Amino acid sequence: MELDKSFAVAFAGMSAQSERLKVIAENLANADSTAQTPDADPYKRKIVTFENVLDRSLGVETVRVANVKTIDEGFGRRYEPGHPAADATGYVKTPNVNSITELMDMREAQRSYEANLNIIDAAKSMLGRIIDLLHG
């Protein structure tokens, strides 16, 4: 049944978006995680990429997280002599996490999740209507 397939696709989308939100939470939580030694890198921002995957049993294209990529450039610098990770000039490398970008991403994940929820709602009410018709 086609509407059953929409359920499967939408639920896959919701799972993918939950995973994306998890990565965003990690980024935000570690926005201040610096290294412990001067030559080590601070927390590196992660981003998720999605890919379409063919569900052969249903014959539909669902979505899943392809991989979680680590970005290892664009660190900030903060002058803080005495910090365990401060180099000879007194600068500490800060993570390449921008809270505003992460918040934007979070909002997008939230909206995508809601969109998939709405698909489920719509499919469910369509199925409900046709079953009502069957009841007579």
Partner 1 sequence: MAIDVNTAINAYANANRIASGAAPATGAGTGTGFAKLLQQAGAGVVDALNKSEASSLQAVTGKADLAAVTEAITNAQVALQTVVAVRDRVIAAYQDIMKMPM
Is the C-alpha dihedral spanning 67, 35, 106, 108 positive or negative?
negative
Told to check if 7 binds partner 1 by CB under 8 A, we report: yes
Tokens at 71, concatenated: 């970005």
* Residue 13 C-beta: closest distance to partner 1, Å: 9
Specify burial of residue 107 (Cβ count, 10 A radius: 0-12, 13-18, 19+). exposed
- Residue 117 parent element (H or E): helix 99-135
Told to check if 14 binds partner 1 by CB under 8 A, we report: yes
* Residue 92 C-beta: closest distance to partner 1, Å: 38
Query: Looking at beta carbons only, is 92 or 109 nearer to partner 1?
Result: 109
Told to check if 56 binds partner 1 by CB under 8 A, we report: no
Using DSSP, state whether 66 is helix, strand or coil: strand
Q: Contacts with partner 1 in 97-136 (CB under 8 A)?
A: 120, 124, 127-128, 131, 134-136
Q: Do residues 22 and 97 make contact, with C-beta atoms less than 8 angstroms apart?
A: no
Told to check if 15 binds partner 1 by CB under 8 A, we report: yes
- Binding residues for partner 1 (CB under 8 A): 1, 3-4, 7-8, 11, 14-15, 18, 120, 124, 127-128, 131, 134-136
